């Protein structure tokens, strides 16, 4: 039985969206056209986002008109759902440190920082490891790079496979840690406990009895950070090329 708070929606369906590359360009703000499409869609169905980034960053991208992102979406899932809101109320948070323990975490981070120090890539900036609530994010370039530097690194990485090689080493070295390594964006990869991919968010919605759960994402290929939720039997997956493509498919599927 779908919650009474959603009784104003004619369709008992949930539509979830990845953020970067699906609702907005990576790490940039959502466009007015996407905002409008989401407002129209919300009149018909329940909507939510499932982003890999932390809640503050996703809010910056999606709350462009000054509104609060938890009011604009029925479900707000940051860090793959490890931080979760429903109808503006915090549901739960989980912690990477609780899962791993301080000692193992320290061993992992020390190894990563040594590996980055030994990497010979054209430029390096700062913040090579970003500690988040439910995961860590590792960037050989460094997270406080400019947009232009991010794009240059992405092109370089496509040729050189810097991130893929890094991930392979970590997978072998830390095989007994129970971790998943996911290359989702342009300059980094995420590390989180196995099963804490975007399907983690589904545990917050499966009791609701939605007739259908749709998921829209751009990194739906194997190894991409949308792959697991996109291919999960509980969802109907839609693979998009960019935010305009998301609008196009929404118009087709939901006649908005
Ligand atoms: O949402 C996709 C990814 O976006 C960022 O990646 P990058 O900075 O490499 O483009 C990060 O927030 C990453 O955690 C996230 O998975």
Distance CA 244, CA 253 (A): 14
Counting from 1 in the atom list of ligand 1, the atom nearest the Cα of 187 is 9
Q: What is the whole-number distance in angstroms between the Cα of residue 122 and the centre of ligand 1?
A: 21
**SS3 state of residue 11:** coil
From 16, 18, 20, the mutation candidate for ligand 1 (largest count of ligand atoms within 8 A of CB) is 20
Tens of pLDDT, residues 182-217: 887 899 999 999 989 999 999 999 999 999 999 999
Give me the mean pLDDT over the 16-22 stretch: 97
From 188, 200, 218, 225, the mutation candidate for ligand 1 (largest count of ligand atoms within 8 A of CB) is 188
Tens of pLDDT, residues 208-242: 999 999 999 999 998 788 999 999 999 999 999 99
Q: What is the whole-number distance in angstroms between the Cα of residue 4 and the centre of ligand 1?
A: 35
Which distant-in-sequence residues (6+ apart) come within 8 Å of 4 by Cβ? none
Distance CA 35, CA 247 (A): 10
Please tell me if the CB atom of residue 235 comes closer than 6 angstroms to any atom of ligand 1: no
Give me the mean pLDDT over the 70-75 stretch: 96
**Residues forming the active site:** 18, 20
29 vs 133, residue with greater confidence? 29
Q: What is the whole-number distance in angstroms between the Cα of residue 6 and the centre of ligand 1?
A: 31
The tokens describing 248, both together, are 């196009």
CB 49 within 8 Å of CB 62: yes
From 125, 137, 163, 180, the mutation candidate for ligand 1 (largest count of ligand atoms within 8 A of CB) is 137
Residue 238 DSSP code: E
Q: What is the whole-number distance in angstroms between the Cα of residue 56 and the centre of ligand 1?
A: 13
pLDDT (0 to 100) of residue 26: 86
Average pLDDT, the chain: 94
Please tell me if the CB atom of residue 61 comes closer than 6 angstroms to any atom of ligand 1: no
Distance CA 53, CA 44 (A): 27
The pLDDT-based confidence of 102 (bands split at 50, 70, 90) is very high
């Amino acid at each position: 039985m779908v919650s009474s708070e959603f009784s104003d929606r004619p369709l008992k369906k949930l539509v979830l969206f990845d953020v970067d590359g699906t609702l907005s360009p990576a790490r940039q703000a959502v466009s007015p056209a996407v905002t409008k499409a989401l407002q129209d869609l919300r009149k018909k169905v329940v909507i939510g986002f499932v982003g890999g980034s932390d809640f503050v960053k996703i809010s910056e991208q999606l709350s462009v008109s000054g509104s609060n992102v938890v009011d604009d979406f029925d479900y707000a899932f940051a860090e793959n759902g490890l931080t979760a809101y429903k109808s503006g109320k915090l549901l739960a948070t989980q912690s990477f440190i609780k899962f791993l323990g301080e000692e193992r975490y320290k061993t992992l981070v020390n190894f990563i920082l040594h590996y980055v120090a030994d990497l010979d890539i054209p430029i390096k900036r700062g913040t090579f490891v970003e500690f988040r609530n439910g995961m860590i994010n590792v960037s050989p370039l460094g997270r406080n790079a400019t947009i232009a530097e991010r794009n240059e690194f992405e092109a370089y990485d496509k040729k050189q496979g810097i991130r893929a090689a890094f991930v392979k080493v970590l997978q072998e070295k830390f095989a007994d840690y129970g971790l998943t390594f996911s290359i989702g964006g342009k300059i980094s990869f995420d590390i989180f406990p196995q099963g804490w991919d975007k399907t983690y968010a589904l545990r917050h919605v499966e009791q609701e009895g939605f007739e259908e759960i749709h998921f829209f994402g751009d990194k739906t290929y194997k190894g991409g950070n949308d792959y697991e939720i996109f291919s999960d039997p509980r969802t109907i997956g839609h693979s998009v090329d960019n935010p305009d493509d998301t609008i196009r498919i929404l118009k087709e599927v939901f006649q908005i």
